[in-house]
């Protein structure tokens, strides 16, 4: 098991993401112009959805705090902080740390990084095993769903990491607005982090682990989808049918996961 310091840092990370996420999600029009780099209100609201989702995931993880149950969520959270801060560093010439909301984003990522480093130190020091048999076992369908998620989201990550502005799909072809390279890479590493967290679920045999991860990460699906509904007016599916990929991905992932959670539960391990 990881240390109590790691747990407290995870709670702190949850709190910072919650504050940041609520501001960005509910005040996108006001904060888009003063964010850490050039973004639109829809992008701002979507990033706010990431942050609220991260807050819920970090809180659930710290609350349950059983390595064998929450390790995929920690993999995601650690990867998110590390990769998003790496994007900020790579595009530091475009970074504008003037408004408090920009500083809050930067500070939250820094705390996320510290949480990841302390967690990784604990992991390599204690070598906790994630392969323990408890509760019901996953079925082939569960593992196939995890595999499908990894393939869909992983492909989005690879596209966003290597695509250049002007390539097919970057000028409103998939995402409904033209993205800067900064934003494109930020979205890409978000998808990469999701892939990192879900990858172990392909071979995980304990159903509770899969259910816990789905439950902890589900706020990401909810709030990003809500942002789509709020700004659905900017979508032009008739002229850009590829935008269905962005919209459909969240429904394709969200509806089956919700059905599994309703039927199987949230994965809370009784210990």
Q: Is residue 241 part of a domain?
A: yes
DSSP per position, 105-163? HHHHHHHHHHHHHHHHHHHHHH--------SSBP-HHHHHHHHHHHHHHHHHHHHHHH-
Specify the pLDDT at position 29. 97
Answer whether residue 269 shows pLDDT above 80. Answer: no
Tally of domains within the chain: 1
Share of the chain above pLDDT 70, in %: 96
Rounded to the nearest integer, the mean pLDDT of the chain is 92
pLDDT (average), residues 65-90: 96
Q: Is residue 145 part of a domain?
A: yes
Q: Is residue 117 part of a domain?
A: yes
Q: Is residue 269 part of a domain?
A: no
Angle at 141 between CA 51 and CA 211, to 5 degrees: 35
Q: Is residue 270 part of a domain?
A: no
Q: Is residue 108 part of a domain?
A: yes
Answer whether residue 149 shows pLDDT above 80. Answer: yes
Q: Is the dihedral of CA 220, 226, 232, 238 positive or negative?
A: positive
- 192-250 residue pLDDT tens: 999 999 999 999 999 999 999 999 999 999 999 999 999 999 999 888 888 888 888 88
- Reported pTM: 0.94
Q: Is residue 256 part of a domain?
A: yes
- Tell me how far apart the alpha carbons of residues 217 and 250 are, in angstroms, rounded to a whole number: 12
Q: Is residue 100 part of a domain?
A: yes
Specify the pLDDT at position 271. 46
Domain containing residue 80 = 4-264
């Amino acid at each position: 098991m990881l240390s109590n310091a790691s747990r407290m840092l995870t709670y702190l990370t949850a709190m910072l993401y919650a504050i940041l996420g609520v501001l960005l999600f509910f005040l996108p029009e006001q904060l888009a112009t003063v964010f850490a780099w050039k973004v639109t209100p829809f992008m701002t609201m979507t990033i706010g959805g990431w942050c609220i989702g991260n807050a819920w995931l970090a809180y659930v993880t710290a609350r349950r705090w059983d390595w064998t149950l929450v390790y995929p969520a920690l993999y995601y959270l650690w990867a998110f902080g590390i990769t998003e801060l790496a994007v900020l560093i790579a595009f530091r010439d475009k970074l504008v740390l003037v408004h408090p909301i920009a500083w809050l984003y930067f500070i939250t990522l820094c705390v996320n990084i510290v949480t990841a480093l302390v967690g990784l130190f604990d992991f390599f020091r204690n070598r906790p095993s994630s392969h323990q048999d408890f509760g019901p076992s996953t079925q082939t369908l569960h593992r196939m769903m995890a595999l499908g998620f990894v393939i869909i989201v992983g492909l989005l990550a690879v596209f966003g990491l290597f695509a250049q502005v002007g390539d097919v799909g970057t000028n409103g072809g998939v995402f409904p607005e033209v993205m800067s390279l900064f934003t494109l890479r930020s979205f890409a590493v978000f998808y990469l982090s999701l892939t990192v967290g879900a990858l172990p679920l392909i071979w995980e045999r304990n159903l509770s682990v899969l259910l816990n991860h789905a439950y902890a990460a589900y706020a990401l699906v909810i709030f990003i989808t809500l942002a789509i509904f709020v700004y659905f007016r900017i979508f032009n599916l008739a002229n850009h049918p590829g935008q269905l990929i962005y919209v459909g991905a969240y429904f394709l992932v969200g509806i089956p996961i919700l059905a599994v959670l309703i039927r199987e539960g949230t994965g809370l391990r009784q210990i």
